[in-house]
Structure 1
Amino acid sequence: MADSAEPRSRPEQRRSHSGTESYDNLEPMFARLAEFDPDDPARAASRQDIIERCLPLAANIARRFSGRGENYDDLLQIARVGMVQAVDRFDPSYGASFLSFAVPTIMGEVRRHFRDHTWAVRVPRRLKEIQQTIGPATEKLTHELGRMPRAREIAEEIGAELTEVTQALIARNAYQSTPIDPTPEGGDSDNTPASVLDTLGADDTNYDSVEDYLAVRPLIAALPERQRQVLVWRFFDSLTQIEIAERLGCSQMQVSRILTKTLSSLREQAMRD
């Protein structure tokens, strides 16, 4: 009687003596599950028992993907979704073990979450898929070559085009964005690292010059050829008035009068417009 009254052990407590999760004898449980009719309540209970036994597997895989900017609880829920999918899709008649089927199924579900929902900037799906394969390929080639592999070597390893690998490496920068001013309200500013806003330069006074240039550009284009040429020589080619006078075959005083008249006319038209 005492044994029958003992509460059912929780999934977290179902450990092997080594301290790790035990998934032994899962395949016979799936074989029995397949014998039940879909509407049989016993089938639902058996399925639930398998799911509870495999919950630690989902937790282990979620932990493998933690530290990449996503909340662990969110990753755990996604991993559990993949684990339930693996339970429902596993067919013991193929002869493979459940773990060999479940692990890639769960990891695929988590990777799809990272691919589809965690990029700060929209990146083509093909580049996301390639970006996920670059890490393992880079690690493998680094061990084999004794150095960091080149983009062409990575492309050959994963069977992708060089341009795709290059674009995927660049797209990696779009995974997470940095706020311009991440300082939290009420935070300790003395201990807060410099924000992007703090590293930006001062106002560029040349912006005013650009506006002035755009304003007088059509006015300069409308000048007579002689006046426009004198402006180009003086302010773009940096010639002196004497050098301009020698090119025109006139006196330096005439060049000075041409410049004064032209600049006064441009200023008057610009201010009027």
Structure 2
Amino acid sequence: MTSLPTSDDLEDRTLQLLRTAQATDPADAAELRDRVVLMHRPMALRVAHRFEGRGVEADDLRQVALLGLVLAVNRFRPETGYAFAAYAIPTISGELKRYFRDHGWAVRPPRAVQETRLSLRAARPGLEQRLGRAPDAGESAAAVGRSAVAVRAAEDADRHYRWVSLDAPVSDDTSGTLGDTLTDSAAVEAFNRVELRIFLQPAVARLETHEREILRLRFGENLTQREIGQQIGASQMQVSRLLAAIFEQLRRELTAEPAPAGCRLIRADESG
């Protein structure tokens, strides 16, 4: 009886194919890499399965995972001495996480809310099993080490994880749609300003005092960069660099992107 291939056999075969692909012409190399993709397709689908149930269609997750597998096959270099699976799994997971970052949230909440939401998702199954019912906000807060207010904010964000069509009916007993309620452009604009302020407030609060003052002068007082420079004793070029750094920090806060290693905002007394 023929034994099934082991993980070591699969790894050896993978490295052999990829080494051969490096040494052959592009057409043959593409065929060899395609074979590697097919060999590791079950692994990619297993990784995708871990991300299911978070508001994104399973078929989309599988497609993204397979794309990540293709990227891993194309980028992997056998001479590094690493196992292919050890390289491919983080690559596939990274593509899935980027997909969630770019397509998952209908409106992206602050990073702290996202982190609380993930903690709740991990803790809730065990908590429900122990209590024999759905936990209340206080019980959930104790389980994840957050405040009840933070838990309620995360639960509210979870309910708004996916887009709702503007063609959706307002209620079962009316033909009106959500889009019909957005006819007042002034009201919509006011709502957008309030929404933006809610999302920006925690990120702005984490800025340093002089950075918040620059934002106030620019958007509160509507001063030009030259006028701001006159107020804080800096050149227009220095103000431009400071604003660019502040905007980048806020963008990373709102998109939950880690700052590059060594990256920090330019302080007012360091610019020049």
Q: Which has the higher contact order (CA 8 A, sep 6+)?
A: 2
Larger radius of gyration: 1
Task: Tell me whether the two structures share a fold, i.e. TM-score over 0.5.
Answer: no
TM range (shorter): 0.3 to 0.5
